[in-house]
């Protein structure tokens, strides 16, 4: 009685050792570091690594190592925070045009942990310090912009159909078209309804004039708002990525707000500059009549302009712009039905569609390019003082042949992969903000305050753990010491799961861990009290142990399932700090069930199982 088979003991031991392995990285110190990313995510090649080393050596800044990270990023490790700041000044002074740098902390892990790819858990904004910004998106402006596009499209449609109208205006959330007579009004209503099915059309007359009024259907209005919010999130994510912050958080909060959290960032002014930067796209025809090499040598034709693609290759384009990104209403990635190749499907507004159709009709077979244009402000440290200057970046992100005339909706092919098509669609949609934004809340948390939170949180866990350990050891003796040991293992497993999931630990998350410490002991108390009750009833020690674990199981499971449900509800409907609390609570309940039911039983079996016992130290 009270003996586990060998395989079950080995399984429990394997889980514990695996937990120790994944929790181990959190014990090592962190190096002051700088994370380097190339402009707009282009991978840093060996040449970039050489430029980085040269910039640091020329400035006389000593660094510990330079590591390559996933996504083509570089990580420069320093011995002290002073060297880190000097390194950032050197990098911004020499490489700010081509690379983005961000201060961060990198764990100083031994080689075998790096080889296994095991990393410590992330620290949230309240523990690490950084910038918190809450942004409000003007949804009314998004709907207003959509109606403005319909105003132009309706004018173009009526002119094309040769329907005479007096005015087309936008007022109070609807588009109104004015006519002289009811017959013309009815004809126009039929044409508009067939072309723009997403508009809800009504008629009105005031005796001297006749009107067709169109407003967005509720479902289409919500779709416009969702699109504006998602496009703004994508745009802001692309811009924040240029800041090079490790583990940025950019997510929707509610129906119209965006939460931006940058752990480790210390310059809110630079963040505002980045969020306020403008970006757009232009479609231009490729100049096929002049030599690209002559343009590279300095002989650029008057009607053309020389660009570079993302790989640095020269491309000669005509100066005349076909359409710009402001005229793009939608973009999505997919596949060409005829060839099966990756493609990007683009929709234009009325004016853009007319210009595109005219140009493509005249230039079938010629290549057309998509130019990405970004205006941003760079900040360099010169003699310890920030110096700002505006930079305009223009590069070709796609070149494809015009296969046939197209207008409002067309596809861009010639892409290498579906990933490239997806990225291009994001660029097309995220070239500019879909709706105005306003920063409604801004907080900057210093690294010293974050360290204070870490110290206080760690101190609370230690104090709570020690008090529980002393109480259990004094009250339950040997069984209490077993409970203390499995409680420690429980903490290790919680940290291991957080590290395995690469979850972010916040201050409310630490509160969840403290709560879990108490709840984990509850399970052992239920078991031990049941064993005491069996002993008082005259049962043998072995039978009391067996009955204690067996009869307390249903009570423990019922109590923890209700708490699990609460944790799931908190995570589903909560935001920010509440989610952090729910995650650690959920993980802690699962690990405490494992350690209290299986872990402590295995230890008690090893101590008392398989032998004759006359008395229990409980």
Residues 189 and 421: their CA atoms lie apart, in Å, by 38
Q: Which helix (H) or strand (E) holds 446?
A: none
Per-residue pLDDT at 394: 83
Q: Residue 490 and residue 518: Cα distance in Å, rounded?
A: 11
- 8 A C-beta contact, residue 499 and residue 119: yes
Q: Please count the helices (runs of H) and the strands (runs of E) in the chain.
A: 17, 22
User: Given this model, what pLDDT does residue 278 score?
Assistant: 53
Tokens of 112: 């075998």
The two tokens of residue 306 are 């020389």
| Token pair recorded at residue 229 | 């919010």
Using 50 as the pLDDT threshold, list the residues of the chain that sit under it: 40-43
pLDDT of residue 511: 82
pLDDT of residue 434: 67
pLDDT at 493 (0 to 100): 92
pLDDT of residue 185: 86
CA atoms lying within 13 Å on the CB side of residue 578: 10
Angstrom distance (rounded) from CA 278 to CA 375: 5
Distance CA 175, CA 184 (A): 17
pLDDT of residue 40: 47
Q: Please provide the size of the chain in residues.
A: 618
DSSP code per residue over 328-391: EEEEEEEE-TTT--EEEEEEE-HHHHHHHHHHHHH-TTSEEEEEEEEEEEEEEEETTEEEEEEE
Q: Taking the model in full, what pTM does it have?
A: 0.58
Burial class (CB in 10 A: 0-12, 13-18, 19+), 384: exposed
Q: Where would I find the H helices in 418-446?
A: 418-429
Q: Which domains does the chain have, with CATH numbers?
A: 6-25+446-608 (1.20.1640.10), 29-108 (3.30.70.260), 140-221 (3.30.1240), 277-443 (3.30.1360.200)
Residue 504 in tokens: 């972010």
């Amino acid at each position: 009685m009270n003996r586990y088979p060998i395989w079950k003991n080995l399984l429990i031991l394997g889980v514990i050792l695996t937990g120790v392995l994944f929790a181990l990285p959190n014990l090592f110190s962190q190096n002051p570091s700088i994370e380097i990313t190339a402009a707009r995510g282009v991978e840093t090649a060996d040449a970039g690594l050489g430029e980085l080393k040269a910039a640091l050596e020329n400035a006389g800044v000593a660094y510990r190592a330079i590591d390559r990270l996933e996504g083509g990023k570089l990580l420069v490790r320093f011995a002290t925070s002073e060297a880190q700041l000097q390194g950032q000044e050197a990098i911004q002074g020499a490489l700010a045009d081509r690379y983005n740098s961000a201060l961060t902390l990198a764990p100083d892990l031994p080689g075998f942990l790096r080889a296994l790819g095991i990393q410590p858990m992330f620290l949230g904004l309240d523990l690490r310090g950084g910038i918190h910004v809450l942004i409000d998106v003007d949804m009314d402006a998004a709907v207003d912009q959509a109606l403005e596009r319909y105003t132009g499209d309706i004018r173009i449609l009526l002119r094309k159909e040769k329907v005479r109208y007096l005015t087309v205006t936008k007022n109070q959330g609807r588009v109104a078209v004015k006519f002289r007579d009811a017959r013309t009004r009815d004809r126009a209503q039929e044409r508009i309804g067939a072309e723009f099915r997403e508009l809800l059309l009504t008629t009105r007359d005031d005796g001297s004039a006749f009107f067709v009024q169109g407003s967005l259907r509720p479902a289409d209005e919500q779709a416009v708002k969702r699109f504006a919010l998602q496009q703004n999130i994508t745009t802001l994510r692309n811009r924040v990525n240029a800041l090079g912050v490790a583990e940025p958080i950019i997510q929707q909060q509610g129906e119209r707000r965006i939460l931006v959290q940058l752990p480790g960032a210390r310059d809110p002014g630079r963040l505002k500059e980045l969020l306020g930067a403008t970006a757009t796209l232009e479609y231009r025809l490729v100049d096929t009549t002049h030599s690209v090499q002559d343009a590279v040598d300095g002989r650029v034709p008057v009607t053309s302009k020389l660009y570079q693609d993302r790989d640095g290759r020269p491309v000669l384009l005509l100066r005349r712009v076909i359409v710009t990104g402001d005229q793009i209403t939608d973009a999505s990635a997919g596949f060409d039905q005829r060839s099966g190749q990756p493609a990007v499907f683009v929709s234009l507004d009325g004016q853009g569609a007319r210009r595109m159709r005219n140009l493509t009709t005249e230039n079938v077979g010629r290549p057309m390019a998509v130019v990405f244009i970004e205006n941003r402000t760079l900040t360099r440290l010169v003699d310890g003082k920030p110096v700002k200057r505006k930079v305009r970046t223009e590069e070709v992100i796609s070149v494809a042949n015009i296969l046939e005339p197209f207008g409002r909706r067309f596809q861009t092919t010639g892409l290498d992969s579906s990933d490239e098509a997806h990225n291009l669609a994001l660029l097309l949609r995220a070239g500019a903000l879909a709706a105005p934004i306003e920063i409604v809340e801004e907080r900057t948390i210093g690294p010293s305050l974050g360290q204070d939170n870490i110290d206080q949180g760690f101190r609370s866990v230690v104090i709570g753990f020690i008090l529980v350990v002393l109480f259990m050891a004094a009250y339950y003796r040997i069984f209490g010491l077993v409970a203390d040991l499995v409680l420690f293992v429980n903490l290790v497993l919680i940290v291991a799961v957080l590290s395995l999931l690469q979850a972010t630990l916040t201050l409310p998350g630490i509160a969840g861990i403290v709560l879990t410490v108490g709840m984990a002991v509850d399970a052992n108390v239920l078991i031990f009290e049941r064993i005491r009750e069996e002993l008082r009833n005259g049962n043998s020690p072995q039978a009391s142990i067996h009955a204690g674990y067996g009869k307390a199981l249903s009570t423990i499971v019922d109590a923890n399932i209700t708490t699990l449900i609460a944790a799931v509800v908190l995570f589903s409907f909560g935001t920010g700090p509440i989610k952090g609390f729910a995650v650690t609570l959920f993980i802690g309940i699962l690990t405490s069930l494992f350690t209290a039911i299986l872990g402590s039983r295995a230890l008690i079996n090893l101590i008392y199982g398989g032998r004759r016992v006359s008395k229990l130290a409980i």
